Each structure stands twice: as C-alpha cells, then as structure tokens.
Amino acid sequence: MAVAVLATVSTVFPGFLTGALAVQVSAEFGVGEATYGWGLGGFFLAATCGSFALGRLVQRIGPRRQILAATVVVASAQLVVGFAARSFGLLVGAMAVCGLANAANQTAVNLALTRARIERLGLAVAVKQSGMPLASLLGGLMVPTFALTVGWRWAYLAGSVLAAGAAVSVAVVLRPSSPAPTSATSSSDSGSPTPMLVLAAVAGGLLAFAAGALNGWVVSSGVDAGLSEATAGWTLSGAAAVGIAVRLFFGFRLDRLRRDPFLVAGLILPFGVLGVALLAVRVSGLHIAATVLAFAGGWVWPVFTNFGIVRANTGSAGSATGITQTGVYVGVFSAPLVTGLLIERFGYGPMWAVVAVFMVVGTALTLSLADRL
C-alpha cells in the first residue's frame, strides 16, 4: 500500500505542480490564463488518450512492469523541465509525456491492489486515492519552498527525485506477476455493464472538472482575492491535507459500508459544491475557508466510486478503471482550458459559479448510479 501511494503521488505530481506554480511560470513565459490552461490540460489530455488502451495493456504485461516504466518516464520528463525548459511549449510537451505515464500508472496500481488480495480492499483504495490530494499538498508546498526562493524549476527537479524513489521502491517491493490467464476484453465479464461504466465515466468527468479547476487556479484565485503568494500556496496545502484526512477517515470504514458507495459519494458532494460556490465570493478570509470545504467535500468521491468499481470488477480492475478514468481525465483536461477562458473574460467569481454547476450535475449522475454497478 505504501508503494502504491508513492507511485500514485509521483506520477500525478507534475500535473498538480503545474497548477500550483501558475503565477510564477505564467509570469516568466508571459502567457495568460487561457494559454496557461494548455500547460495544465496537456497533462490530462495525454492521460485521456492513453487511459483505456493502457488499462488493457496492464492486464497483459502485469502491473509491476507498467508502474516501473511510468515512474521512470515521469522522473526523466521532469529532469528535462528542470534543466532545459526555456519555452512554454517545452513545458507543455513534457507535461503531456507525464500525463501519458500517469494514465499507465493509475490503472496498473489499481490492478496491483486487487491482485495483492488485500483483506481490506476499501482501505487500500482509500489510501491509494489519498495520493492525489497528497500530490496537491506537495505542489502547494513547492511554492514557498522553491518557487519563491531558488526558482520554480527546482520544484520539478524535486518531483523527479520523488518519481525515481518510487521506481526504486517498486523494483524492490513488488514481485513480478504473470498476466491474468485470460485477458479481460470487457469489464462486463466481472459484472459491471459497459454502459454503466461509461455513465460512471461521465459523472466522474463532471466532478473531475471541478477538481481540475481547484488544482489549477485555487492558488492564483487566492492571490486575486487578496492573499499573498505564499499564503495561497499554504492554503492549497492545508486544504489538500484536510482532503487526505477525510479520505482516510472514510477509508477505515469503507469495507464495512452497507450502503452503495455511489450513494454515499452523492450525499457528501453537496458540501464540496458549497465550498466551490463560496469561492465565487472574492473575500480573502472566506477564500481560505471555502478552499478547505471544497477539498473536504468535493474530493472524497473518488474513494467511493473507485472502490465500487474495483470491487465489482476484481478480475479486470485495470480495464474497468481504464474506462472510468478516461472520463475523469477528460474533466480534468478540459477544466483548465474552459476555466482559463472564463477567468480572462469574466474573472474568478463567475468561473467558480460555473464550476459549482458542473458539480451539481455530476452529483446527480453519481446518485443515479447507486445500486446499478
């Protein structure tokens, strides 16, 4: 489980870091929010394109080899950014490479957890899913630690060290495993109809749109609301820490959960909607509280939805989550592009209001999936 979290954090970290460094990187390259959205979105666009195919690939080659390859690629790409990024185009390209590697890693880790025969699968999924807010927390810390001291490129070099450490840990801890005797060509083999998985992907995409906006703009939004750059970075880290605590809190109870995971996720999401809606009010103190609420209520849903999908598709967790993660990546990819345009034209307040509407629709779809997977 520890290696699964480390691998998860290391490959998703570049995407979240790029959002946390929006103020410093955009200032150096002279790009606006709409253009900078491609730096954020490129990571998740590549992940979108590769998620389904890489989810099927890991069913054949096994999770160990795919996780190793993904972490090595991410470490190498961040080295390039740290030492050679002299144009915004190179940064976008490197983030696209990292995004493809992240898609490979996420599906592989999901399959590795199910093959490990962990007794408390729900807790394992919750711990693994905590890797995303942990990566966001670390991204926020990079602002006062590196970006405002020695320079933002050092943050990517730190990410490269993290990915290299994950690769070593995977090589040492995870044992080679043979591919499944029969490849899962359809997730329906394990009980989940493909149309329901596609609907779950749509719901996840709408909710991930909000997550992408939070990770992409909450720091620069805080600065716009009157916070200092350092305080905005600390706010992101603190909110992500609360998100981790909430995920782990529910993770300890997930295996004994009697209600459908999608139902519970849908009942918690309105708190996140409220937090995002309050971000539209441009008051610095309220921005801090709203960010914490948005992360606490709006980021716990992947624990429940991934647990529900993995539990229903234990034999083909890689391919099943490859379908649902595609929707998630579409949401996170499109969020920086759409919200960047909204910010340039209307400002941060209206942008957060639009994001809250996306969350409302995603919440409704999540509730509709209860007892259907």
**CA atoms 2, 214, 293, 261: torsion sign:** negative
- Whether 121 maps to a domain, the answer reads yes
Q: Give the predicted TM-score (pTM) of the model.
A: 0.75
Contacts of 126 (CB under 8 A, 6+ apart): 247, 248, 250, 251, 252, 254, 303, 307
- Whether 28 maps to a domain, the answer reads yes
Number of domains in the chain: 1
Domain that holds residue 194: 2-368
- Whether 373 maps to a domain, the answer reads no
What CATH number is attached to the domain comprising 133?
1.20.1250.20
Cα 63 from Cα 113, distance rounded (Å):
9
Cα 269 from Cα 300, distance rounded (Å):
8
299 phi/psi in degrees, rounded to 5 = -120, 0
- Whether 157 maps to a domain, the answer reads yes
Cα 14 from Cα 108, distance rounded (Å):
18
> Digits of tens for pLDDT over the chain (373 positions)?
888 889 999 999 998 898 888 889 989 999 887 788 787 778 888 988 888 888 889 888 889 999 999 999 999 999 999 999 889 999 999 999 999 999 999 889 888 877 777 777 777 777 877 777 788 788 888 988 998 899 999 999 999 999 999 999 999 988 776 444 444 443 334 445 678 889 999 999 999 999 888 877 888 999 999 999 889 888 988 888 888 888 888 888 877 878 888 999 999 999 999 999 999 999 999 999 999 999 999 888 888 888 888 777 766 766 787 788 888 888 888 887 889 889 989 999 999 999 999 999 999 999 998 887 6
